[in-house]
Structure formats: C-alpha cells, structure tokens
Amino acid sequence: MAAPVKSRIDETVSPVQTLTIGKALNLGLRAAMEADDKVIILGEDVGKLGGVFRITDGLQKDFGEQRVLDTPLAESGIIGTAVGLAVRGFRPVCEIQFEGFIFPGFDQISSQLAKLHYRTQGKIKVPVVVRVPFGGGIGAVEHHSESPESLFAHIAGLKVVSCSNPADAYWMIQQAIASDDPVLFFEPKRLYHNGQLKSEVDTTTPPGPLFASRVVRTGTDATLVAYGPSVKVCLDAATAAQEEGRSLEVIDLRTISPLDLGPVFESVRRTGRLIAVTEAPSESSVTSEIAARVQQECFYSLEAPVLRVTGFDTPYPPSKLEEHYLPGLDRVLHAVDRSLGW
C-alpha cells in the first residue's frame, strides 16, 4: 500500500479556508486518505478524470492507482468489491456517478452491506461509504436528477446523511469514512460549485457530530426543516419572509437515518408550526416520518397541521419541466402562508 502523501494544503496557510461544497469534499477525501492508508476510493471515472463532477480531482495522481481505482460501469460490482475490501480491513469509498445509477447495486447494498454486521453478531464490520450525488436542477436527462434517499433510510443497518454547506461537506465525509457503519452519503450536486454557497471552513475543528441535526437560522413564527439542496431553498425563504415581518426558523436535518428530531421538537414547541421540505416525492418519504413523529411528540404545541413541500409523486420530468417539479421559493412561501393562516 502506498504511503500517505503530504497534504496539498500548505502548512503556512490559515486553517480557515474559503471553499465550495465540491472543493470541501475533495479536501475532506484527501484528509481522510492522508490520515488512514486503508481508505480507498473506487468508482467510474474517479481516477484520471477526477469524477464527472471533479470531486476526486487529483487524488489518483497523488495517492496512486492502488488507492483511487477506476472501475467498470457496474454498480453492483463496485459495491460488492467494497464489501469484500471492508471485510479485509479497508475503508472503501464508492462513488455512484448519479443517484439514478445506484439501483443496479441496490441488492448488494440492502442484502449485504446493510446486514453483514448484524448477521455475524458484530464480528464483522463493514465501514463502507457510498457517495451519491443527488437531486435536480442541473438540466440533466433521465436517471440523473432523482432523490431516492427514503429507500435507503428504510433499510435497517444503513446510516444515511446529507450535507448542505462546505463546512459540513468537509467534515461529514471524514466522519462518515471513520464510522464503522456503512454510510450512504448524499451530496447535493447542483450546489457542488455554487459560488453563492462558498464559505469559510475551519479545517481544524469539526462543527459537530455526524448524526445530528442543527438549527441554521433562528426564528419564532414557524419552523422549516430540510436537508441537502432544500436547505438553501429554506434559507432563501426565511430571508424573503423577513421582508414581510415573518420570522422563520430553519433546521438542517443533516442525518436522514437515524433521524435526529430533538432540535425539531424543541423548535416546534416554540413556533407551533412546521413545514418539511424535500425534493423527493411525498409518498412514504422522509417528510412523512417527520410529520408523524412531530404530530406524536408535539401535538399540544401545534397551531397548524404539519405541512410538506416536496417533489411530486411522478418520475422526475424532462429538464424543461424540472422547475415546476422542484420545491422552490414560491412553493415554500405559499406553505408558510397556509400555516400562518390556519
């Protein structure tokens, strides 16, 4: 196994860096590979090309072809190989090019990756991270803009998380790789290189644990909860609502399975209202579980029904129609109007 290489980050440079989500993920992967030579990246075009979104750019050059492997177009083979590597003591990181391509590997994920630790009574650990660029808004063709996270959240034995900002991208990918549990890591691909989200990242201190939600904007009138690409939509909605004298609290869920709803319960007990936002279809979704559990835990605090702003219960549409499908600013603000008008 090749020895770890020295970081590209000059030691004389400030540990606080201004990064996009894409660059933060790249540096987070690099830091994990430097810290542990058992970390291996494998996937389609992750090597010389650096991935279709360039998230693994430069890693094969610096760490070698034995640690950054270009694979055939075979998601089942990628996941199956990762399971075997994990059993032998490695920490594989698989890249699925687009979320819609993950389904050929679904059997390996649900039947092997999720169950091996439990089936062996804890004797075997399977520390595999599956990176999944997900969500719409990039004008792509069929199978390139889906949000299938609810399917994996329903499978016992898997952890499912999603980042929404550069600091979380940098630290959450390292924490996921360090975890002994298999983690599905959903990345909001339309935000990878969004300059508006470029922000300072402290590369010395993580902002918090991996499986924890976080209040990212405080408010008093209603609570918005989201994850991944929908967090930015909710923050934009909160800014727009402020101009009308409304104060909206925004919670970034961050962890989809296990759900950390403690901050959501606390917020709803103060605001009395909740709107859950996601790009995924509404039926049997993460927002369904949020709504059910908030109703159960905060029944006497609710001033209005829990509302959901989601994608529609249809296959993802052609790119010319995706703006009608995605839960945008207007739909979120309309839900806020409905909740406050109850």
Active site residues: 144
CA distance 129 to 126: 9
Q: How far is residue 240 from each of residues 243, 246, 329, 333, measured CA to CA in Å?
A: 6, 9, 9, 8
Taking CA 147 as the corner, what is the angle to CA 146 and CA 153, rounded to the nearest 5 degrees? 145
CA-based nearest residue to 32, from 44, 23, 41? 41
Give the tokens for residue 114: 């999720």
**Contact present, 188 and 163 (Cβ < 8 Å):** yes
- Round to whole Å and give the CA distance between 199 and 17: 8
